[in-house]
Amino acid sequence: MPPIEHLYIHIPFCPKLCPYCCFYVEEGAKNKNRAFLDALLLELEKQNQIREVIPRTIYMGGGTPTSLLADQLAYLMEGLKTRLPLHQLEEWTVEANPATVRPEKARLLKEAGVNRISLGVQSWNDTTLKTLGRVHSSLQARKTVETLLGAGFASLNIDLMFSVPGQTLEEWEADLQTTLEIAPSHISAYCLTYEEDTDFFLKLSKGHFKQDEARDARLFELTMEQLEAGGYAQYEISNHARPGHESRHNIACWEGREYLGLGPSAFSTLNGERTQNVCDTAEYVRRLNAGMPPVHSRESLDASTLLKEKVAFGLRMATGVEEEHLDNWHAEKIHLLEIGLLERHDSRLRLTRRGKMLADAVGESFMG
């Protein structure tokens, strides 16, 4: 079997849980210890025995990998480097929260071979940051950007969020402008999603927050216009990059390539199967120490599921999908072409500008 080329590592710790976030994370330091790091490394060793991992991309996300202490981070990086051949590595991303990056950690990551940081700024407006329950101020985020650039990270993504309750169109425009002045190599701009089982979802259900699709669409359009004018290509609905700075790891996942996920709650797509690890850090450590797999659920990926995913993710990307992938949905395809939500480009089909505004609905047309 060919080696596994894409590796995701989930670090489930955050300084504080954000009220809109549905990722598996925990606050506090109860499980943030050497035993957890050893379990991660053990999971990698076990996987390596089944199928060799020679990564082209590594993505450490979460959670907040930089919420590990500097010596824990150093231990993990060293442990990964001694277990992984890195001669094929093209991209090593680490997600960071501005409240958790000190110059020492930035240096350490750079020296370990990390070449891309994804920084969760969300907004440069302190009121919006407060609504989002973030632990950092706009000034702290500014300083963190300087720290990361100073440590030599030329490849830097800034995460932003729009349609936050109370955020005006002018405030979002100012967020975009400030980001453009900083000129990172990559910008992810996400429309706030009200995820089930979050405080924000509860507030929405109680009517404390309101959704407004027309407003979301206006902010999304503004995002596309401003970032395009600033020299960023929208290579995926929420992702904009300067040429050559697209996230290779994310593109591989969206293209349906195989990847291995390590850590609690991490998904893997390997050998025609999608598995998910247990969403419980203590249980994850316990299982690995007991010689048991940390997998909690398994789904076999048949050809029809793989095709639907290829279409759903492919349509979110600027490259679109090969037309033959839509053969099963001929009537839907013709209709979407006729009403101008899809267009042909180089024998592929992709969303038009208007189609991008309705990307979720277009994607759903091909799920039946």
Ligand X SMILES: C[S@@+](CC[C@H](N)C(=O)[O-])C[C@H]1O[C@@H](n2cnc3c(N)ncnc32)[C@H](O)[C@@H]1O
Q: How far apart are CA 231 and CA 233, in angstroms?
A: 7
Q: Which residue type, as a one-letter code, is found at position 182?
A: I
**Distance of closest approach, residue 346 Cβ to ligand X, in angstroms:** 31
By CB under 6 A, tell whether 161 contacts ligand X.
yes
Positive or negative, the CA dihedral 283, 285, 287, 289 is: negative
Our CB check for ligand X shows the closer of 21 and 318 to be: 21
- The window from 15-23, 46-54, 70-78, 219-227 that contacts ligand SF4 (CB under 6 A) reads 15-23
Q: Residue 64 interacts with ligand SF4 (CB under 6 A)?
A: yes
Buried b / exposed e along 55-91 (16+ C-beta atoms within 10 A): bbbbbbbbbbbbbbeeebbbbbbebbeeebeeeebeb
Any idea what DSSP says for residue 317? Answer: B
How far, in Å, CA of 12 to CA of 280, rounded?
Answer: 9
Query: Does residue 119 interact with ligand SF4 by CB under 6 A?
Result: no
Residue 21 found at the interface with ligand X (CB under 6 A): yes
Of 40-48, 62-70, 195-203, 357-365, the window that binds ligand SF4 (rule: CB under 6 A) is 62-70
The DSSP bridge pattern shows strands 267-270 and 13-14 to be unpaired
7 binds ligand SF4 (CB under 6 A): no
Reference 235, options 313, 340, 147; nearest CA is: 313
The binder of 294, among ligand X, ligand SF4, none, by C-beta within 5 to 8 A per type, is: none
Q: How many residues bind ligand SF4 (CB under 6 A)?
A: 11
Q: Please state, in angstroms and rounded to a whole number, the distance separating the CA atoms of residues 140 and 76.
A: 26
Member of 18, 37, 148, 227 binding ligand SF4 (CB under 6 A): 18
312 interacts with ligand X by CB under 6 A: no
Q: How far is the CB of 74 from ligand SF4 (least distance, A)?
A: 22
320 interacts with ligand X by CB under 6 A: no
Q: Which residue minimizes CB distance to ligand X?
A: 120
Least Cα distance to 233 among 306, 319, 150, 358 occurs for 319
- Which of 159, 175, 236, 280 is in the footprint of ligand X by CB under 6 A? 159
Q: Distance between CA atoms of 36 and 29, rounded to whole angstroms?
A: 11
Total residues belonging to the chain: 368
By CB under 6 A, residue 64 contacts ligand X: yes
Residues in touch with ligand X (CB under 6 A): 14, 20-21, 23, 61-62, 64, 95, 97, 120, 122, 159, 161, 190, 192-193, 195
The site for ligand SF4 (CB under 6 A) is made up of 14, 17-18, 21, 23, 25, 62-64, 97, 120
